[in-house]
Amino acid sequence: MDQTSLHLRAAVEGAAGSLEWIVIHFGPFLEAQIRFRLGRGGKNDTDVEDVVAEVWMRVLPRLSDLQARDGHLAPVLAKFLSTTALNLTNNSLRARIRLLARGHGEKDPGQDDAGDPLDEQARQTLGILTRIEANETCGLIREALGALSEVRRQVLVLRLFEQRSNREVAEILDVRANTAAVHYKRGIEELRARLPSSISGEVDLLAK
């Protein structure tokens, strides 16, 4: 059984280490997707971090709902994360547009000064994100993604994480389908070259 499937099952049973393993290995791809989808608004690290945290808060309690595809859970988890992130980034962009339309000084209706208190799941999620910030493996994946050209990183996010076809990627990025395919192939090769086999193996599962 692949590492993602093993850790997902252990996390569902309450293994804190496995929960952190999942966030460490999938978090950098999630961050890259959110930064890409927020566009210029995603240049603010705080905005990105807020959406990342909210995605994990929604996804982690529902890990037990995931069903393996062809015996693997990695692509299922990636799709769940990316779909949740896409919905939340769209919500964030719409909220920003509304705020700009009203003027920077106004709050959204119903926004409370104190904010809603964090429940136990939220505290647990934020604790995990804080602990993994300096994790070496997480840093390696971030560095490998960061070393890619912007277009190659975007292609990988769309193909690996959002699991879109070359044709869909080409339409989103306004490039030819064969260009998207070349960027994808070379991007995967670059990631494999920069990451140890223990990590690149999980990338290979997403690439199937």
pLDDT digit string (tens) for 46-105?
888 889 999 999 999 999 999 998 889 999 999 999 999 998 888 765 665 555 556 654
The distance from CA 34 to its chain's CA centroid, rounded to whole angstroms, is 7
115: in domain: no
| Higher-scoring residue by pLDDT: 112, 35 | 35
d(CA 87, CA 57): 14
E strand spans, 127-175: none
d(CA 187, CA 145): 9
Within 10 angstroms of residue 73's Cβ, the number of other Cβ atoms is 23
Least confident stretch, 16-20, 75-79, 112-116: 112-116
111: in domain: no
Q: Is the pLDDT of residue 159 over 90?
A: yes
Within 10 angstroms of residue 140's Cβ, the number of other Cβ atoms is 16
Domain hosting 96: range is 3-106+121-207
- The token pair at 145 is 């993604």
131: in domain: yes
Phi, then psi, of 69 in degrees rounded to 5: -115, 120
67: in domain: yes
d(CA 49, CA 117): 18
153: in domain: yes
- Residue 114: predicted pLDDT: 46
Residues 190-204, buried b or exposed e (16+ Cβ, 10 A)? bbbebbeeebbebbe
Indicate the pTM of the whole model: 0.82
Query: What is the number of structural domains in the chain?
Result: 1
* Highest-pLDDT range among 98-107, 126-135, 157-166: 157-166
- Residue 92: predicted pLDDT: 67
d(CA 26, CA 205): 12
Bridge partners for 69 per DSSP: 72
Q: Is the pLDDT of residue 13 over 60?
A: yes
- Residue 190: predicted pLDDT: 95
Phi, then psi, of 104 in degrees rounded to 5: -60, -25
112: in domain: no
Average pLDDT over residues 191-206: 87
- Residue 98: predicted pLDDT: 58
